[in-house]
């Protein structure tokens, strides 16, 4: 049976690319639709500024004339320049359970990357680590969050059979929300507050967050580059604004915290209510009434999803993570939340992982990115 690989060149092809996963995952209980309004912007070269510094290719696979898979190839030149690498990425890989289709798509991305002078390919990955990264390899029974991939268990196995090997693993912890912060947290909190040099910034309304977006994301740039966060490339100001537009509508101000010393933001944490049940009911469509399902789910959920966080290097070890963490725990308990999803924690980030375990966290999902020499 012939497999044809076709590049996305028209709006009709792009529509097929965007909505294909909905068909592939039709009976997949753990899968969550993307917000399609966001997807149309994300894959729009005029609206997504990442296309300006990345080479990309969007591909569809057809088998017997029917679309059976998709994939995206990305070369992030900004990342490669910072890391002195020649690395390509594959992402947004979706296929029916067909090794031939999967292999044809990966080979097409590899050939494209090789022609561009790349020497290595990794994935699944998007433009940056702000996009979904890594395939799920453990915890398939748990529903995906808004910021993670959801894949079938056969996908990583097939990829390894195509010559790919592990590049990095991430762990996701499940932490029960305590009625009150642990005693060791309280002691650290009190010591940090006694110093009197830090101010915890909290928010009541979304509009109050806006002036802090660039200072917070600038700190993310600084910390993630210094910490060699896997796959991270620094955001420019306009990209920070775009990221904020993408997530601000669904953020709850109660779960955004920052720490200031003088006029400088030195730490932050961002979490959001899990609203995947509402996204599933809305089938990823905000209009005409899908947004009501999402808002309702955000109010009823018992799960808080951690997204981003950082502490400026010279202020680490002074309890700033605890200053913010206790405020988040208290807010989560008052709002009736029962558990927190920690999002991806790199396997090499032993300090953060130890902190999660100290809080009673249990690993309940595991993700893996793969790599292959070209």
- Determine the average pLDDT of the residues in 62-79: 96
* For the chain, percent of residues with pLDDT exceeding 90: 77
- Domain shared by 206 and 323, yes or no: yes
- Determine the average pLDDT of the residues in 262-266: 92
CB 293 within 8 A of CB 299: no
- Domain shared by 195 and 92, yes or no: no
Which of 135, 152, 169 terminates a domain? The answer is: 169
Residue 1 confidence (pLDDT): 65
Question: Helices 213-226 and 237-247 sit at what angle, rounded to 10 degrees?
Answer: 110
Residue 244 confidence (pLDDT): 85
CB 306 within 8 A of CB 341: yes
Per DSSP, the three-state class of 360 is coil
The residue among 173 and 83 whose pLDDT is bigger is 173
Q: What is the mean pLDDT of the chain?
A: 93
| Euclidean distance between CA atoms 85 and 216, whole angstroms | 28
Compute the C-alpha angle 168/170/176, nearest 5°.
170
CA distances in angstroms from 55 to 79, 93, 216, 221, 237, listed in the order given: 12, 17, 28, 22, 21
Residue 317 confidence (pLDDT): 87
- For residue 300, being part of any structural domain is answered with yes
- Domain shared by 65 and 20, yes or no: yes
Confidence class for position 276, pLDDT limits 50, 70, 90: very high
Question: Helices 320-334 and 183-195 sit at what angle, rounded to 10 degrees?
Answer: 120
- For residue 357, being part of any structural domain is answered with no
- Domain shared by 68 and 23, yes or no: yes
Minimal CA–CA distance to 163: which of 236, 85, 204, 110?
110
Confidence class for position 59, pLDDT limits 50, 70, 90: very high
- Domain shared by 182 and 153, yes or no: no
- Domain shared by 197 and 274, yes or no: yes
* For the chain, percent of residues with pLDDT exceeding 70: 100
- Domain shared by 13 and 142, yes or no: yes
Domain that residue 327 falls in: 178-337
**Count: domains in the chain:** 2
- For residue 371, being part of any structural domain is answered with no
Residue 16 confidence (pLDDT): 98
**Is residue 193 classed exposed, middle or buried when 0-12, 13-18 and 19+ CB atoms within 10 A define those classes?**
middle
| Euclidean distance between CA atoms 329 and 209, whole angstroms | 20
| Euclidean distance between CA atoms 79 and 228, whole angstroms | 11
β partners of residue 28: none
Residue 58 confidence (pLDDT): 98
- Domain shared by 14 and 144, yes or no: yes
Which residue's entry shows tokens 């959801």?
Answer: 150
Which of 169, 197, 225 terminates a domain? The answer is: 169
Residue 363 confidence (pLDDT): 96
How is 38-66 classified by DSSP, letter by letter? Answer: HHHHHT-TTT-GGGGTEEEEEEEEEETTE
- Domain shared by 11 and 126, yes or no: yes
Q: The CATH number of the domain where 109 resides is what?
A: 3.40.630.30
pLDDT at 146 over 90: no
Residue 228 confidence (pLDDT): 75
pLDDT at 283 over 90: yes
- For residue 217, being part of any structural domain is answered with yes
- For residue 360, being part of any structural domain is answered with no
Which residue's entry shows tokens 């020499």?
Answer: 373
β partners of residue 310: 268
- Domain shared by 121 and 202, yes or no: no
- Domain shared by 206 and 149, yes or no: no
Return the structure tokens found at 287. Answer: 């209009």
- For residue 353, being part of any structural domain is answered with no
- For residue 364, being part of any structural domain is answered with no
CB 166 within 8 A of CB 370: yes
pLDDT in tens, 43-56: 999 999 999 999 99
- Determine the average pLDDT of the residues in 229-246: 85
Minimal CA–CA distance to 86: which of 55, 119, 121?
119
- For residue 372, being part of any structural domain is answered with no
- Domain shared by 218 and 149, yes or no: no
ω into 288 cis (within 30 of 0): yes
């Amino acid at each position: 049976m012939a497999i044809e690989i076709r590049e996305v060149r028209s709006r009709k092809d792009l529509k097929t690319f965007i909505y294909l996963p909905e068909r592939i995952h039709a009976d997949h209980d753990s899968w969550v639709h993307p917000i399609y309004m966001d997807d149309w912007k994300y894959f729009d070269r005029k609206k997504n500024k990442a296309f300006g510094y990345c080479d990309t290719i969007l591909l569809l696979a057809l088998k017997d004339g029917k679309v059976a898979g998709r994939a995206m190839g990305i070369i992030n030149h900004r990342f490669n320049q910072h890391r002195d690498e020649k690395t390509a990425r594959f992402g947004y890989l979706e296929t029916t359970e067909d090794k031939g289709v999967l292999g044809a798509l990966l080979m097409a991305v590899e050939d494209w990357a090789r022609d561009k002078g790349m020497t290595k390919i990794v994935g699944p990955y998007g433009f940056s680590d702000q996009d979904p990264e890594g395939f799920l390899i453990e915890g398939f029974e748990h529903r995906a969050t808004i910021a993670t991939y959801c894949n079938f268990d056969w996908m990583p196995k097939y990829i390894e059979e195509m010559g790919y090997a592990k590049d990095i693993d991430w762990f996701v912890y499940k932490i029960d929300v305590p009625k009150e912060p642990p005693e060791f947290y309280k002691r650290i909190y009190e010591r940090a507050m006694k110093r009197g040099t830090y101010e915890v910034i909290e928010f009541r309304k979304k509009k109050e967050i806006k002036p802090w977006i660039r200072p917070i994301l600038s700190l993310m740039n600084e910390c993630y580059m210094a910490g060699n966060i896997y796959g991270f490339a620094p955001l420019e100001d306009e990209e920070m604004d775009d990221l904020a537009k993408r997530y601000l509508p669904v953020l709850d101000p109660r779960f955004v915290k920052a720490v200031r010393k003088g006029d400088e933001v030195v730490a932050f944490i961002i979490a959001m209510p899990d609203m995947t049940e509402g996204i599933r009911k809305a089938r990823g469509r905000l209009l005409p009434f899908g947004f009501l399902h999402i808002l309702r789910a955000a109010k009823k959920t018992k799960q808080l999803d951690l997204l981003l966080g950082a502490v400026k290097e010279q202020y680490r070890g002074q309890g700033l993570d605890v200053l913010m963490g206790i405020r988040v725990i208290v807010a989560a308990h008052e709002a009736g939340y029962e558990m927190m999803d920690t999002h991806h924690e790199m396997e090499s980030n032993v300090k953060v992982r130890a902190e999660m375990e100290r809080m009673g966290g249990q690993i309940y999902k595991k993700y893996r990115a793969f790599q292959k020499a070209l």
